[in-house]
Copies of this chain bind each other. A is one copy, B any other.
Amino acid sequence: MPLSGLIFDVAGIGNAIVDVLCFADEATIVKNELVKGSMTLVDEARADALYKKMGQATECSGGSVANTLAGMASLGSKTAFIGKVKNDQLGSIFIHDLHAVGVHFSTPLMERGPSTASCLVYVTPDAQRTMATYIGACARVSEADIDEQIIEHSAVTYIEGYLWDTPSAKAAIRKAIDLAKKSERKIAFTLSDTFCVDRHRKEFMELIDKDIDILFANEAELKSLYQTQDIESAITELQGICSIAAVTRSERGSVVLTPENREAVATTPVARVVDTTGAGDLYAAGFLFGLTRNWDLKACAALGNSCAGEIIQQLGARSMRPLKDLVA
């Protein structure tokens, strides 16, 4: 029997990653030749070498879009994730943590080939996170993994910029975008990371111009996109192009843009910031939760701010406590 109507609020396609988090000093970032606050792709050998030198760690499922969907599910949304893990212990952990909060996941596992992806996350004393990602099984996501039924029955399809780093993912994304458009669904996108923007600027520009309905970016990513040091001019450039854009500004909350309007939404300061990993992902969770319930954009941004504020009070990007209480 074919499915009918909307089943999911959001379907997400992203890298399926288990995070390995530790506290580290600034010197560790420098010594390991990582870029503070950013994500560096590493091959298996470098990942192994970095892990060997890493201090006491703790493991927690991650992946940008997956974090957003887990957050949305915890808020009460119906979500589905598409991404590639191997049939190994980290893969089991990743799948468990999606299912634990009720995210639908049915992408076939890989039985051989590279391991489930992991991301070494170094949290410095300023609570900033610096990441080294071994992309592993994620690189094998393909067109065949895009379940048409899921995309067609989701109000929004959400994709992450990080996917552009894995060539075979692009055909998958293209297929998902075409399906979403054909079914008259919305497409949301996150710029992911300044260096990721740097690597794929031209394609991201085209994508935002042609296909994206809802864009998530932080100030640094937006400045990178338009190659400017001036956030105001970057915002001005973006405003005409995207029907909805949410620009996150850390402790200063976020700015929501539509072609006609621009609204700054302040956030409540957090008493003790432990780890900023997942702040942007959880912002998107709150925002998309509201948007798929037809909240006004200011309310969407306010819930995004709250979710981001919640996740930075713990280690790791998957909330250890249900988020439902944040929905006022």
Contact = CB atoms under 8 A, between A and B. Distances in A.
Interface stretch (A90-98, A146-154, A206-214, A251-259): A90-98
A205 interface: no
A180 B58 CA distance: 34
A70 interface: yes
Given A88-B89, A89-B90, A89-B115, A100 B56 contact: yes
A59 to B, nearest CB: 4
A279 to B, nearest CB: 17
Interface in A196-221: none
Contact of A58 (B52, B54, B55, B58): B58
A45 interface: no
Interface in A91-120: 93, 96-97, 99-101, 115
Given A22-B320, A89-B88, A89-B90, A58 B56 contact: no
Q: Which of A56, A90, A318, A320 has the most CB of B within 10 A?
A: A56
A270 interface: no
A59 B58 contact: yes
Contact of A321 (B23, B74, B101): B23
Interface residues of A, number: 29
Q: Which of A54, A316, A320 has the most CB of B within 10 A?
A: A320
A57 interface: yes
Given A88-B89, A89-B89, A90-B89, A97 B57 contact: yes
B58 A320 contact: yes
Contacts of A318: 56, 58
A52 B96 contact: yes
A288 B55 CA distance: 23
Contacts of A316: 58
Nearest to A60: B58
Given A22-B320, A89-B89, A320-B22, A96 B59 contact: no
Interface string A303-328: 00000000000011011110000000
Nearest to A96: B51
B89 A55 contact: no
B23 A320 contact: yes
By Cβ-Cβ distance, the 4 closest A-B pairs, closest first, are: A59-B59, A89-B89, A58-B60, A56-B100
Interface of A: 22-23, 51-52, 54-60, 70, 74, 88-90, 93, 96-97, 99-101, 115, 315-316, 318-321
25 contacts: A22-B320, A23-B321, A51-B96, A54-B100, A55-B100, A55-B101, A56-B70, A56-B74, A56-B97, A56-B100, A56-B101, A56-B319, A56-B320, A57-B100, A58-B58, A58-B59, A58-B315, A58-B316, A58-B318, A59-B59, A59-B60, A88-B88, A89-B90, A89-B115, A315-B315
Given A23-B320, A56-B74, A89-B90, 19 more contacts: A23-B321, A52-B99, A55-B101, A56-B97, A56-B100, A56-B319, A57-B93, A57-B96, A57-B97, A57-B100, A58-B58, A58-B59, A58-B60, A59-B60, A59-B93, A88-B88, A88-B89, A89-B89, A315-B315
